[in-house]
Structure 1
Amino acid sequence: MRINTTIFLTDETIGPVRLAEELEQRGFAGLFLPEHTHIPVARTTPAPMGEPLPREYGRTLDPFTALAAAAAVTRRIALGTAITLVAQHDPIVLAKQIATLDHLSGGRFTLGVGFGWNVEEAADHGVEWARRRDLVRDRMRVMRALWAPEPTAYAGEFASVAASQAHPKPVGPLRTLVGGAAGPKLFGHIADYADGWMPIGGGGLADALPRLREVWDGAGRGPGGPQIVPSAVRPTEGKLAHFGELGIEECVVQLPPAGEDEVLRVLDDYARFL
């Protein structure tokens, strides 16, 4: 199984360059980074991981800048987001950022797409919370149009783009994974515009995967997917063996938002799963 890592990189943790070098040297498969632009202090949205909200959420590095730094000092590891809050981005600018990072890294980028949980954060970006999933779908279609080989237009309810010259292009078909809890709405998004699912933790997959595959097949997506890449996994031998039994070949394990010494100790521990 390919073992990627994820971490809340902040101004107080190990840096992306040092971490990326260690991951590549130790044989880990990749580095996936989360995203929060800011955390409003007057927040009434309950944090899904419990309260109080961990300190690192308000100090997170921009994932694209950090991954660019990681790309510059590595040649092999995959680079990705887990996840990008697409509703909070201008899709034309985001398409350029993603294509540039994929180009500079030699095609190593995976886009993790998420819908968010923090209503106040999204509101500051002008996002209507109840329509955020529809907004993300439109913005993904705008980006696909910009990544197309020839100038392609797209006109949607929430986002549009004229047929345009837009380079660089992603090196190859850009892998897209959608994060979120199992359900018909999420599975519909995966079947519509993604290559697979990035569930948090990986619990309940034995029940969820047949339902996702039914939606996938119903959309005519074919036998090659969907890819399943559990994220924020606290690995154990039993858990990884269970993933393997389900046909899962890749996961993303959680690193602590800590300094160099602690992160490297955890990598030493996780090395037994490689």
Structure 2
Amino acid sequence: MRIGVTMFTTDLAMPVPALARAAEERGFASLYVPEHTHIPISRRTPPPAGQAELPEEYKRTLDPLVALSFAAAVTERLLVGTGILLVAQRDPIVTAKAIATLDRLSGGRAVIGIGFGWNVEEIENHGVPYGSRRAVTRDHMLAMRALWRDEVASFDGFEASWSWPKPISAPPVYVGGAAGPKLFAHVAEYADGWMPIGGKGIKAALPALREACEKAGRPMAKVIPFGTLLTREKLDYYARLGVEEVVAALPSASSGEVLAKLDEYARLI
């Protein structure tokens, strides 16, 4: 089983190049970083995990694709991924080119974890009604896949166009979020797998995910427990479910605190 890590990369946390090098040196397979374009101060939307206050790192998150380019530049094998990219908030043409460039320059190491978003005002500031974010995400992903795949690509919203570079191979796309028929329909249609945030409820959800994939006439999607606090017991449990990759959560903190957690997780590799 491969073990990756994820951290809220910010201007105050351990620098991305140092984190990437440390992860690769310790045998981790992947590094994922999240996205928030901005956080409106109104706080109409409560924090996602029920906290009394929104954690500081949400306000300070680096751009994920720029951050991952620095991670890729100082490593040779480490997969560099978004976890998660807020696709509905992004222009698909520009984002497709940025991801293809990252994949090309990294030697095919880009991985794209995507999500629909939870912060109502953040999404609406991008001109996307909150209730439309899933449909917009789907449209943007299908457009991006066309731009990565086709020599002359077209989709609703843009005319037949050239767009290079193409990725070395289409970056795998994983959809993050809680289990359910709507999410699994998205996974089955245009993604390679599911990223259950925190890793809970996987066993109970697998039959529904398998059914959605069979209905779409495609192989079973991969499952990557994401942002979990890793233990040997969890690894053994995920292995019994056939999970091939687990992504462990790191604190958004100073180098000393992050390296201590990396060393703790490295003993499980």
Q: TM-score, normalised by structure 2?
A: 0.98
Whole-angstrom CA distance in 1 between matches of 2:140 and 2:90: 9
Deviation of 1:173 after TM superposition, in Å, equals 2.5
Does residue 192 of structure 1 match 2:189?
Answer: yes
Distance in 2 (CA, whole Å) between partners of 1:183 and 1:268 is 35
Q: Residues of 2 paired with 1:33 and 1:248: CA distance?
A: 21
Q: What is the CA–CA distance in structure 2 between the aligned matches of 1:162 and 1:108, rounded to whole Å?
A: 29
Aligned-partner Cα distance in 1 for 2:108–2:247: 19
2:61 aligns to what SS in structure 1? coil
CA distance in 1 between counterparts of 2:207 and 2:231 reads 24
Task: Establish whether residue 202 from structure 1 lines up as the match of residue 203 from structure 2.
Answer: no
| Aligned twin of 1:234 | 229
**Which residue in the other structure is 1:162 paired with?**
159
Aligned ranges 1:211-226 → 2 under 5 Å? 211-222=208-219, 225-226=220-221
1:174 Cα deviation after fit = 1.6
Partner of residue 79, structure 2? 78
> What SS does structure 2 have at the residue aligned with 1:162?
strand
| Gaps in structure 2 of 5+ consecutive residues | none
Superposed CA offset, 1:229-274 (max 9, x none): 1110101111111100100010110000001011111111111111
Structure 2 CA distance for aligned equivalents of residues 70 and 174 of structure 1: 17
CA displacement 1:91-128 (0-9 Å, x = unmatched):
00000110000001000011111000000111111111
Shift of 1:81: 0.5
Alpha-carbon distance, 1:69 to partner: 0.5
Aligned to 2:44: 44
Give the equivalent residue in structure 2 for 1:128.
129
Pairing 1:1-274 to 2, within 5 Å after superposition = 1-51=1-51, 52-155=53-156, 160-222=157-219, 225-274=220-269
Identity %: 55
Q: Secondary structure of the equivalent of 2:160?
A: coil
The TM-score with structure 1 as length reference comes to 0.96
Q: What runs of 5+ residues in structure 1 fail to find an aligned partner? A: none
Give the CA deviation at 1:152: 2.2
Q: Shift of the alpha carbon at 1:188?
A: 0.2
Provide the C-alpha distance between the structure 2 equivalents of 1:212 and 1:25, rounded to a whole number of angstroms. 35
Aligned-pair CA distance for 1:89: 0.3
For these two proteins, the number of residue pairs brought into alignment is 268
Q: Is the 8 A contact 2:196 2:225 kept in 1?
A: yes
Q: CA deviation at 1:201?
A: 1.2
Residue 66 of structure 2 aligns with an amino acid whose one-letter code is T
1:66 is displaced (CA, Å) by 0.7
Shift of 1:141: 1.2
Three-state SS of the structure 2 residue aligned to 1:82 is strand
- Distance in 2, Cα, partners of 1:149 & 1:95: 12
Poorly superposed stretches of 4+, deviation over 4 Å:
none
Aligned-residue Cα RMSD (Å) equals 0.8
